[in-house]
Every structure is written in structure tokens, then in C-alpha cells.
Amino acid sequence: MAQQGLRQRSLPAVATESIRMNGAGKNTPVAVPAGSQGSRGGPVELLRMILLLTYFVISSCMINATQFLGAPLYIINRNYYYALMRWTKQCFGLLITTLCQWWSPTMIRLYSDWLYLWWIAYTNHTHGHLFIILKESLKWIPVLGPGMMFFEFIFLARNWATDKPRLVRDLSKLKSRHSGPLSGSGSLDPMWLMVFPEGTNLSDNGRVASARWAEKQGFPDLKHQLHPRSTGLLCCLQELKGTVDWVYDCTVAYEGIPPGEYGQDIFTLRTSFIEGMPPKSVNMYWRRFRVSSIPLDDAKDFERWLHDRWVEKDRLLERYMQTGCFPPIAEADDPLELAGVEQKSPVDRPGARYIETAVQQASRWEFCQIFLGPMAVGMALLAYCKLAGLRSLVQEASDRFF
């Protein structure tokens, strides 16, 4: 289990995060302990970079090779084809986990928060059923682009006139039913669809554009976030209505970002993976909302509902900036009440708790399955071809003599 390293505590020694583990739908703050703290010097950084690139490129090529070798299964048996693609997605989740574990403990670059959240899916055994909405240009990246297309990720061009029919078509696939390996026990496959309503990273330019949009819409500006855009998320929820029960909201804070600065400028790919200087902790606060309680029939009502949730998230981030932690959760707490900045400290809250963990794989050698894929798929296809050839010979002999 990926959760074997979980530790419960009453007070955070570092900034904390809130996370749902093992599918428990409760808001539980979690803290990720510190990684390395200091540059390792030129030669060591060069060695780290060479090892990282070698491992990442070889692993990605292995996963991609498994996908291409298994592509004929789409014609032979689609249930097994989809099962294989889910398995390769699990392998990529393992790749992300080991990159964090070995090169940048607890941290994925802020440009790629979705990679870190992939590990959250890994802890819930759904890392093979994760779907992400991405920019269309990303599918042209060598190796990774075709891999993401095999993963059935959704690519949009940021032009709603052309994106909407494509999004509706791709979302309809998420409601399909399969009976092969890695399928769900019920009528629908497990599915996590990851959506970032802000649409871009937090930056100076983004803040200016977000403030301008808020003024135009009549919304007060947010202090720590960009305003969400509701159109895409509303479309997703409307199309998936009846097949999903909950929307999970995750608020993320990285320790070590001064007020007025942005994580993408401080924790870069070089500092986190090459120099080995990730944040001391990555902090997450999870909430969930029942889909039936969300106003999906009116676009304006939904836009207001979504904005209200972002106001709550902004208050949570303000709490984090003031105290260094998100509010802890006690069994009887209302998560919306905890968004307020003025409240008791953790020491005054009986039963309040945090969960502290580290990004790591469940077992030491689990990552080896990344490299076993091409061999296993190749041998299976070879056996199938030989069996098909044998059947053909038997049929030919039967026709000749009988």
C-alpha cells in the first residue's frame, strides 16, 4: 500500500496539507516532510540531470512501446485493449512517483501540479483511471504526446466553438462500460477527471488579466488565486451527470513562497530536480461536493456557485499564509466553517489532526513493471499469432483430407 508511511499527528511540525486517502471522503489535512535543502554543486547536479533524463526517457519509451505493441488489441479485443492502456497509465503514475521520490522528494514543478495529483490517485489505486484536460499543443510532444493520446486525455484548443463538440464527444467515452481487467466492479469504470478551471498558472500577467475579468463580471478580486472560468467545468458536469456522485476540490499551498511571489519562479525544474531543493512541504486541503447539490441547469447560477467556492479557497490560502498551515479537521467540523481565518488554533481544537506522508511507491521494486510491459505484450502477441497460425494450418489440413 502507498499509505504505509502515513503518520497521524495533532500539531504540524511543518506546513500541512489536506488529502483524501484510500477513498475516505473526509477532509483530512496532510503534511509532506522536507526534502533536501541546499545546492549540491556543479558535478553532482550534472550527474543528477543525466540520471534523471536517462531514467525518464527510457521509462517513457518503454511505456510508449507497450502502447504501440498493444494497439492491435483494439481490433482483437477492446476490453483487453482498454485494460492495457489503463495499465500503461498506472506505469506512468509510477514513473512520476519515483521521479519525486528519488530526485525531488514531495515536489513536482508548479507548472505540472497535475503530475503531483497523479500520485494522489495512486494512493487510491485509481492512477490507471485518471483523465486530464490539456492544451492541444501538448499532444505533439515526441513520445509523451502519443502516450497521452493512448491515455485518452482530452486536448482542447481554447476556442470554445471548436472545443465544445470535441469535449462532449470525449466525455461520452468516459461513460462507457468495459468488462475486462482493471474495469470497475459496477456498471461503470472508475474515473477521475482532473480539471483546472483557472486555465493557466498564477503569475503577474495572469493576475492582471484575472483582476480585469473580475471587474468586468462584477466579482471582487481574489488575493491568492486566479478567478475560475465556469464554461468548461459546467459542460463536464452536465455531460457526466448521472455517472458521478462527487466533485472533489483541492487547494494546494507550497511552503517557502513569500507573499507577492509565485511558486513557478522559485521552485523551478532546475532547483527542484537538478539541485535537489524542493519546498519543505506541499500542503493540500480537500473538500467534496455532491453533484446533485450543484446548480447545473443555469450557467449564471453555476458561475456564482463556483466563484463562491473560490472565495472560500482564497480564505483558506490566507489562513495558510498567516499561520503556516491549513485548518485541521475534527470529526464534527463543517469544512466550510474552517475556511474562516479567525478561529481556534490546532492546540485548542480537540480531535483535530493532520496526516503526514511522503511521495513514494508502495514497494521498492514496483517501478520494474514499467520495463516488463513491452516484453509481456510482445510475448502475448507472438503467442496469439502462433496460435492463429496453428489454427490456420489445422483448418487447411482438415479441408485437404476431409
Amino acid (1-letter code) at residue 314: D
What 3-state class would DSSP assign to 290? strand
The answer to whether 27 touches 111, Cβ cutoff 8 Å, is: no
Tell me which residue of 163, 257, 254, 151 sits closest to 194, measured CA to CA: 151
Q: What is the pLDDT of residue 297?
A: 93
Contacts of 152-157 with CB under 8 Å at 24 or more apart are 152/85, 156/232
The pLDDT of residue 118 is 81
Which of 51-55, 144-148, 375-379 comes out lowest in average pLDDT?
Answer: 375-379
Q: In which band, very low, low, confident or very high, does the pLDDT at 373 lie, cut at 50, 70 and 90?
A: confident
Would you call 308 exposed, middle or buried from its count of C-beta atoms within 10 A (0-12, 13-18, 19+)? Answer: exposed
List pLDDT tens digits, range 333-371.
444 444 433 334 444 445 556 677 777 787 888 888 888
| End-to-end CA gap in the chain | 58
Give the mean pLDDT of 366-386: 75
What percent of the chain is predicted at pLDDT more than 70?
Answer: 68
Q: Are 261 and 298 within 8 A, CB to CB?
A: no
**Residue 17's pLDDT is what?**
33
Q: What is residue 112's predicted lDDT score, i.e. its pLDDT?
A: 46
CA angle 285, 287, 291 (to 5 degrees): 155
Q: Provide the pLDDT for residue 8.
A: 42
What is the rounded average pLDDT of the residues 1-26? 38
Mean pLDDT of 194-213: 77
Residue recorded with cell 472560500 = 312
Q: Which three cell numbers stand for residue 366?
A: 514496483
Q: Has residue 193 got a pLDDT over 70?
A: yes
Joined together, the cell numbers standing for residue 256 give: 517557502
48 — pLDDT class (breaks 50, 70, 90): confident
pLDDT at 362: 78
232, amino acid identity: G
Q: Is the model more confident about 401 or about 15?
A: 401
Return the C-alpha torsion angle 272, 274, 275, 278, nearest 10: 10
Give the CA dihedral 292, 293, 294, 296, nearest 10 degrees.
50
**Amino acid identity of 133?**
I
For the chain, give the mean pLDDT.
Answer: 74
In this predicted structure, what is the pLDDT of residue 34? Answer: 38
